[in-house]
Every structure is written in C-alpha cells, then in structure tokens.
Amino acid sequence: MYHRTGLTLLLCLSLSACYAPRPPATPQATPPAAPVRLEPFQRANPSRPDGGAVVYYHNTAALNAALAAEGWHTRALPTDTLPLGQTGVTLSLLDEGGRPLPLYEARRTHVEGTAGQRFSLRLVNRSANRYEVLATVDGLDARSGQPGSYNHGGYLIEPGGQLTIAGFRQGEQSVLPFRFGRAGSAGASPNVGVIGVALFGESRILPPPPPAPAAPPREPNPFPGNDPRYAPPPRS
C-alpha cells in the first residue's frame, strides 16, 4: 500500500487488473486490457470492508461432496452473480470465453473449476459510490502476490463502472492469468481452492473552509477615545 499525505494511492483501471511478482504455475503472461494509474483514495475504515465474498472452487466430485455436506438441494438453481453486502456491487466469475460460471450458494459459495482452467473476476458497481477492491486467489493478493491482507492496496471501481481482474499483475504491460489449481493435492498450499474479494468504501472528508477575508486597514482616528473598541485611558 502506498501512502502520500495521508492518502492511499491505488492502481485505478477501467477493464483489467492484477499483480503478482510470485506467479502461480503457468509461465505465460498476457497483456492487460487497459493501462493502470495511481489514484488517491482514503478508506472510511481501513480494517473493516463494506462488503465482500469468499468462493471455494473444486473439481466435479469435490463440488458434489461439498454441496451434499452443506445441504444444498439439487432443485435449487445456481446463480451467476453474488451481491457484495449492501454496497450495490456484484461479483461474477468468468471462464476463459467470458461466460459466467455457475455459483452454488449453500452454507458457503462454491464454483466448479477444472485444474488449469483460466478464469477472471468481474465486478459491476451499480451504486453512486466508488470502492477499493482487494482480490485474492489461493490466498495470494492479485496485485502484490503476497499473502492476502487488508493492508495491501487495491483497485478502484467507479460509480456505475465495471472492473475485470484477469490475473496476477506482472508489471505495467502484462498479467499472469488466473487458473484453477488442484486443491488438496500433495505439496499444495492449504489456501489453494479459495477466492476472496473485499470492498472498502471511501472516507467522506469535507474540504477545509475557505480562509476568512482579511480585514481592511483602519483609517487613522484623531479621537480614538471615542471608539468603544479601545480601552479608556488610564487614570492618573
């Protein structure tokens, strides 16, 4: 997270976003769809998101087992968007063709993902507020590649805007696409298999009032004792 004069500077972009100096398994990086820039932003609450979501991904057999354990009924229909609290922002997971992946909401939210399959995160902001977006995949921050933390900086999503996070950022001109991993495999991180998104609202800081106009200079007064603004002369 970058700081300057008390403000958090965040990468701001309109389409594609991500960052990770420590890439996951795939060696191929792809260019982002839009350039990024730094933008001042101050969170209303630095440690408490306004909204968020956690999605667990599995192969087909593990998905069915998780849904059965959590009492999901086969008659229930999956969804393709998740509301992020009361923020007016929704989250979708897209496959490599840009199609929404079905999301299964039981006690937790689940999605089916084949190991090696590319995916991206799509956020849509239908509110009049802008938010800072932090995203993690397999426990790693999408911008820094470090273990996910609220202390990291994120991306901005503007009022009425959309944001697609397509992978881990490798630099100014490239990202490493997100891919589903093999959760529970030997040697895998215990955080493989989970996707997280957190939204932080903006602090409503009022601008300082304009300075008071300077008082005009007073004209010389030949009888200042008649002016009630002056103290009477001392008595002898």
User: Sorting pLDDT into bands at 50, 70 and 90, what band is 184?
Assistant: confident
| Residue 225, pLDDT above cutoff 50 | yes
pLDDT in tens, 102-133: 999 999 999 999 999 999 999 999 999 999 99
User: Sorting pLDDT into bands at 50, 70 and 90, what band is 228?
Assistant: low
User: Sorting pLDDT into bands at 50, 70 and 90, what band is 227?
Assistant: low
Cα separations in angstroms, 177 against 91, 95, 209: 18, 11, 47
Instruction: Please state the rounded mean pLDDT for residues 165-183.
Output: 87
Distance of CA 117 to the CA centre of its chain: 24
208 with 149: CB under 8 angstroms?
Answer: no
Q: Which residue has the tokens 């007016």?
A: 88
- Whole-structure pTM over 0.85, yes or no? no
Q: Which phi and psi (to 5°) does residue 69 adopt?
A: -65, -25
Q: What pLDDT does residue 234 have? A: 67
